[in-house]
Amino acid sequence: MAFTVEAECALTSEGDELYLCGADPLYGAWEVSLAVQLRTSPEQWPMWTAQLPCMVGSEFKLLIRRQQERVDWESIGNRIMPDTPSPDQTLFLRFGQREMELREKTPVLAPIRALTLPVLLADRPRAGSDGYRCRFISSAGECNCLSERYKLEETTIGEGGFGSVHKAWDQALGTMRAVKRIEKSKALSLEDVNREIEMLRVMDHPNIVRLYATYEDERFLYLVMELCEGGELFDALAEATHLSEPVVQVAMRQVFGAVAHCHSKQIVHRDLKPENFILQKNAEVETSPLKLIDFGLATYCRENEELTDAYGTVLYVAPEVLGEKYNHACDVWSCGVLMYCLLCGSPPFHGKNESDILAKVVRGRYTMRGAHWMPVSSQAKHLVAKCLQKDVQQRISAVGALNHEWFACRFGEKGVETPRDLHRDLLSNLKSFCVAGKANARHVTSFLRRRRRLRSKIP
């Protein structure tokens, strides 16, 4: 008996194909060339469907066949085909997530009509913009307003200077989203909003918050985004009872992965800090994906191009940004500061005020000695040092960080240091730092403007 399989997979580009492959000969007998292909369209993406015979108890997995003949399997254990579903039921899967669900019927996908804004930075590269992901976001159709597809909740889950964030039920896909509602009259620049949308629509990475659709009415812009309910990274860690180096390793692998993806699209985030990494769900850091958010200060930066306008947050800004001559490597420095904080509970550069902090950042001197660093492995210290290398030419790249020996460490195995809990004061220090850091978060732009004004008054 045949039944419908529906899979959600947003990790594909134009020309990639999604397959189901399993132990049973009808599923390909684990031969990729014989696997069952799932189908999609620009209107359906990221949903893929296929009609399959139900082989109860048979093991199977999803895989992506890339254009270059590379095959990416789901990074989970084998799935098990559930008890025979009826022809009226659909087996629903998400690529890379073990959970499966039998639904009574396949949701009818409503097409999305995107917000039409003037195209900016036309000479900038927009890698992958012709792929299914961008088509899904920008395709026009019969769904002309937000309320036709989404049921918006009035209760806010977040607020900012330009508007608010609400939960919204996607009536077509049967899932919850987050809608960022931006009040046009309060937005400093609609061009900046447009640039942020353009960046989000070309990025497709499991550790970067996803943009699904955009809408507009006379008063508001609406960005339909992935819902993340787990809170900020540091807040989640501060609530834990203990913290070990392998947990930091899990978090930093995702941080560097998100940054490497940004850089592959020639995008520099420029404001990497703990508040901009949130957990997708309310769970432990080891089990909930991290998501990079807030691309409000991000910009494009071609290879060999240098940026000259200084942006960032005082505690995490790279020294070359203060010199107003920098490139994508500034993000790696911020990752190094973040990793340093996670391993010892305090930042590498601190002082009585922002002037003191930035003076130490410019000097680039810090220490990894003392009791707080005793439990930390030599490999972790080496990676921090490579990220906090003042010489940009000597600084490691985000991809280089992912390939660093620290991420290959299997703590506890023969020849590898046994992991110990990090210093007992780390979590309390981290908690205090979270509170103080948010209260004293300052962007370097205002500091540099004050410094220029003072210099201009000197005869």
Enumerate the active-site residues: 271
3-state secondary structure of 180: strand
Residue 453 φ/ψ region, left for φ over 0, alpha for ψ in the -120 to 50 degree band, beta for the rest: alpha
186 known ligand binder: no
Q: 423 is written with which tokens?
A: 């210093």
Q: Would you give the distance in Å from CA 103 to the centre of its chain?
A: 29
- Do residues 318 and 326 lie in contact, with contact meaning Cβ atoms separated by under 8 Å? yes
CA–CA separation, 199 and 412 (whole Å) = 41
CA distance 250 to 247: 5
Do residues 47 and 17 make contact, with C-beta atoms less than 8 angstroms apart? Answer: no
Q: How far apart are CA 22 and CA 18, in angstroms?
A: 14
Query: In this structure, are residues 225 and 182 in contact, taking their beta carbons and an 8 Å threshold?
Result: no
Contacts 24+ apart (CB under 8 A), 85-89: 85/3, 85/54, 86/3, 87/1, 87/2, 87/3, 89/3, 89/4
186, 313, 323, 334, 364 from 445: Cα distances, Å: 20, 9, 12, 16, 20
Q: How far apart are CA 334 and CA 377, in angstroms?
A: 21
Tell me the two tokens of residue 154: 């009035």
What's the count of helices (H) and strands (E) in the chain, helices before strands?
13, 18
Q: Which residues are annotated as a binding site?
A: 180
Q: Which residues are annotated as a binding site for ATP?
A: 180
